[in-house]
Amino acid sequence: MYLGHISPCCGSADSIKKSIVDFFGRNTFNIEKLVVVGCDGAAVNTGRQGGIIRLLETHFKHPLQWLICLFHSNELPLRHLFRYLDGNTSEPHCYSGDVGKLLEQCNKIPVLDFQQIECDNLGLLQLSENILCDLSKDQRYLYDMYQAVASGSCSEPLAHRSPGTLVMSRWLTMANRILRLYVATTQPSAL
């Protein structure tokens, strides 16, 4: 059950824990019935001694089930690979390498004849329409762009769809933009 929203004064684990405790106090929730806390896998949340969940367990004097979003964990390998191949970011919101700089405007570059990447041996399924309807806009874009790269053909409507906003914390949209850049590049290995 979603209980509410807080806006802590800063991003430290102590500050966020205090905001959560204050929220519970103001709303007279029975803390003894709190059994699960969900969050992403950031260290500020999951640190085994100083993370928010551990601080809440200590404060409430009982263990909690940790419900950690694995989607964020799945994005980390791409993040580290991209940093290795393209270099560190130059600022919190900017890439410094050649490919990273192209990602910002990739959807404005026209689609060219690109080399198909055969993906048959990856065992990826054709998803049914009812599953596709449940995907977010960004997830659907990634699936459709994967299909385009695997088939060697990017449709005009897909070429004009937005790959999603490029944000350092959203590696799904970064993957979307990498594939969009791929279909607009005749020799991607030269980048």
Q: What is the pLDDT of residues 129-140, one digit of tens each?
A: 899 999 999 999
Weakest mean pLDDT among 57-66, 78-87, 88-97, 99-108: 88-97
Distances in whole angstroms, Cα of residue 16 to Cα of each of 10, 41, 155: 7, 15, 46
Looking at residue 71, its pLDDT comes to 75
pTM (predicted TM-score): 0.68
The closest of 109, 94, 95, 77 to 183, measured between CA atoms, is 109
- DSSP three-state, residue 2: coil
Q: Which residues pair with 91 in a beta bridge?
A: 94
Residue partners of 9: CB distance under 8 A and separation at least 6: 15, 19
First and final C-alpha spacing in the chain: 47
What b-and-e string marks burial along 38-77, b requiring 16 or more CB atoms within 10 Å of the CB?
ebebbebbbeeeebbbbbbeeeeeeeeebebeeebeebee
Looking at residue 3, its pLDDT comes to 77
| Band of pLDDT at residue 106, cut at 50, 70 and 90 | very high
Average pLDDT value for residue range 11-31: 91
Contacts 24+ apart (CB under 8 A), 171-174: 171/75, 171/76, 171/78, 171/79, 172/75, 172/138, 172/139, 172/142, 173/138, 174/78, 174/79, 174/82, 174/103
- DSSP three-state, residue 89: strand
Looking at per-residue pLDDT, the higher value among 13 and 28 belongs to 13
Q: What is the pLDDT of residues 113-157, one digit of tens each?
A: 998 888 766 656 678 889 999 999 999 999 999 999 988 999 999
Instruction: Tell me, rounded to whole angstroms, the distance of Cα 25 from its chain centroid.
Output: 32
Question: What single string gives the DSSP state of each residue in 19-58?
Answer: HHHHHHHHTT--GGG--EEEE---HHHH-TTTSHHHHHHH
Residue 178 identity (one-letter amino acid): I
Q: Which residues pair with 66 in a beta bridge?
A: 37
